[in-house]
Structure 1
């Protein structure tokens, strides 16, 4: 019975892996196949006669290089800002006692229930009024803080021994020093999980960068991929090549951070 249960779990995991990995396999293989093999239309493309011609064509047909750099800058600035604000807020909501702390945290949680589309017009008017249209700052300013990252780090900080925080305070550490040298190292898996979530959210942003930017060079790679799909409708391999360029950073982030990601989602905290 035990072996049967193990076989069922293994079969279920295999099916899930195949379902998740199959689109990635199709994207990578199709992006590297010659255009003629793609047009032939196999259900499951076979990795034969691989070439980088489609990638080169994708880079030539649209300003993907500039847009790639823009996406990297947006991801770095936005995720770093969200992580800093989330760590500071989570610390304030966990350790020091102050009047109204519960109400303030409830308001932060309430922001998670607000549809992002309802904030587009106020954010657009704010960015335009500040003269930030078609700039990097205009893309990232409305997203310098994220309620979910605050919630994630607060839940991590709650699981830490309060005695360690009290000992650091008795030793003369200020709040900022305690956060940097005591709290964050102990909650490293959850901090990395929050950083990955912030980076992936910033990288995959589409609607707001499309709305706030005008020139193609100032747009992100997600917007550039949509434009590439319109321009290359008769050449699907080029579209897949652009998709591969967008997909690679997210895959690398998850692969390099998977150990911390699993520990963070499992709620493990290291002392």
Structure 2
């Protein structure tokens, strides 16, 4: 065996090992959620799906208002990630193409927001949302997070990788800023745009502390808060807890699977540039 082939085999073995480590918790969660509770009580390290049932999912949905919380999480994710994506696209365009005085300073301020601990903003955000009368509402959960500095940074770097001559040619042909953004810039940055959208959606979906703090009614809270409540109420039935975890996990898995092609294309474009 040549040295190059031996190195290729080692890389494949390393990738298989890493994939197994990542996939193992997902496998345990999915299988345990669908096993009868008697089979889960056997305590196997690696559960074997001999019999499958949906009873655990039904019990999880009935033991807590997970259905209402699921809907709240979906609405918050759509609203928050959509607003973050729109603001990031507009800000990244302003930082990448038009030249204006103070652009570097303003971008440095945006980057500085990434270094601010989120915990330090909890009290000001709580006072602001309460003063606006949005406590215990869907808007109250999303309002403090309608813009994200990381998404701005990611899209700005993607826009800077594009040939500036293309944008200048569009401007010379009579395209305004909005038309140039929609018809010239965004189509060339589609993989990075999908990556930013996935990051915004996952951040919104996985929010826990702020939705718990700003809401009072169980049916106004997100699914992450509901899952924590389910763990307390169903401490003696781990299969039901796994079922609730599976309900939370499914949207993130589907999002990654659907956006995998764009993620790989975005990574490949970053490597070749």
TM value normalised by structure 2: 0.97
Indicate how the Cα distance of structure 1 residues 259 and 161 shifts in structure 2: closer, same or farther if over 3 A, else same: same
Q: Helix, strand or coil for the counterpart of 1:145? A: coil
Q: Counterpart in 1 of 2:160?
A: 158
Of 257-266 and 201-210, more deviation after overlay is shown by 257-266
Q: Helix, strand or coil for the counterpart of 2:126? A: helix
Q: Counterpart in 2 of 1:133?
A: 135
Aligned partners of 1:121 and 1:208: how far apart in 2? 10
Aligned partners of 1:180 and 1:119: how far apart in 2? 34
Q: Counterpart in 1 of 2:147?
A: 145
Assess if the C-alpha contact under 8 Å between 1:156 and 1:267 holds in 2. Answer: no
Q: Does 1:202 align with 2:204?
A: yes
Indicate how the Cα distance of structure 1 residues 182 and 135 shifts in structure 2: closer, same or farther if over 3 A, else same: same
Deviations 1:55-104 (A, max 9, x none): 00000000000000000000000000000000000000010000000000
Of 164-173 and 236-245, more deviation after overlay is shown by 164-173
Deviations 1:192-249 (A, max 9, x none): 0000000000000000000001101110000000000000000000000000000000
Aligned partners of 1:56 and 1:44: how far apart in 2? 24
Q: Counterpart in 2 of 1:168?
A: 170
Q: Helix, strand or coil for the counterpart of 1:40? A: coil
Q: Does 1:214 align with 2:216?
A: yes
Query: Which stretches in structure 2 are left out of the alignment for 5+ residues?
Result: none
Query: Which stretches in structure 1 are left out of the alignment for 5+ residues?
Result: none
**Cα shift at 1:171:** 1.0
TM value normalised by structure 1: 0.98
Aligned partners of 2:75 and 2:269: how far apart in 1? 30
**Cα shift at 1:264:** 2.0
Which of 234, 238, 241 does residue 239 from structure 1 map onto?
241
Aligned partners of 1:265 and 1:139: how far apart in 2? 32
Q: Helix, strand or coil for the counterpart of 1:155? A: helix
Q: Counterpart in 2 of 1:67?
A: 69
Across the aligned residues of Structure 1 and Structure 2, the Cα RMSD in angstroms comes to 1.2
Q: Counterpart in 1 of 2:60?
A: 58
Aligned partners of 2:271 and 2:14: how far apart in 1? 29
Assess if the C-alpha contact under 8 Å between 1:152 and 1:194 holds in 2. Answer: yes
Mapping of residues 41-120 of structure 1, within 5 Å: 41-120=43-122
**Cα shift at 1:40:** 1.0
Assess if the C-alpha contact under 8 Å between 1:189 and 1:268 holds in 2. Answer: no
Deviation above 3 Å: which 4+ runs of structure 1?
A: 265-270
**Cα shift at 1:269:** 10
